[in-house]
Structure 1
Amino acid sequence: MDKDSAGPTPGFLVWRLANKWRVAVDRAVGPLGLTHAQYSLVASLYGMQRAGERPSQRRLADHTGLEALYVSKLARALEASGLIERARDPRDPRAVQLALTEQGLDVTRRAIALVQELLQQLLEPLGGLDTPRTRAFTGELTALLDAPLSPSAPDDETTQGRTS
Structure 2
Amino acid sequence: MTAPESRLPGPDRSPGFLLWRVTLAWQRAMRAALAPHDLTHVQFVLLTTTWWLTRSGEAPTQRQLAEQAGTDTMMTSQVVRKLAERGLLERADDPADARARRLQITAPGLELVAKALKDVEAADASFFDGVGSEFTDSLAKLSP
Per chain length, whose mean CA-contact separation is higher, i.e. which structure has more relative contact order (CA < 8 Å, sep 6+)? 2
1:97 aligns with 2:95: no
Counterpart mapping for 1:63-102 below 5 A: 63-102=68-107
Query: What is the rounded CA distance, in whole Å, between the counterparts of 2:42 and 2:28 in structure 1?
Result: 11
Query: In angstroms, what is the RMSD of aligned CA positions?
Result: 1.4
Gap runs ≥5 in structure 1: 127-132, 147-164
Change (3 A) 1:145 1:30: same
Query: What is the rounded CA distance, in whole Å, between the counterparts of 2:24 and 2:61 in structure 1?
Result: 28
Query: What is the rounded CA distance, in whole Å, between the counterparts of 1:38 and 1:55 in structure 2?
Result: 16
- What is the TM-score normalised by the length of structure 1? 0.78
Could you tell me how far 1:4 is from its partner in structure 2? 4.8
Task: Specify the alignment match of 1:162 in structure 2.
Answer: none
Residue 40 of structure 1, aligned match among 22, 41, 45: 45
Residue by residue over 1:50-76, the C-alpha shift from the partner in whole angstroms, topping out at 9 and shown as x without a partner, is 222311111111111110001001001
Q: For 1:86, what is the secondary structure of its paired residue?
A: strand
Q: For 2:129, what is the secondary structure of its paired residue?
A: helix
Residue by residue over 1:79-138, the C-alpha shift from the partner in whole angstroms, topping out at 9 and shown as x without a partner, is 111111111111111111111111000001101010111111012122xxxxxx31x222
* Number of aligned residue pairs: 138
Query: What is the rounded CA distance, in whole Å, between the counterparts of 2:120 and 2:47 in structure 1?
Result: 13
Gap runs ≥5 in structure 2: 1-5
1:5 aligns with 2:2: no
Percent sequence identity is 34
Residue by residue over 1:2-34, the C-alpha shift from the partner in whole angstroms, topping out at 9 and shown as x without a partner, is 635344311112222222222211221122111
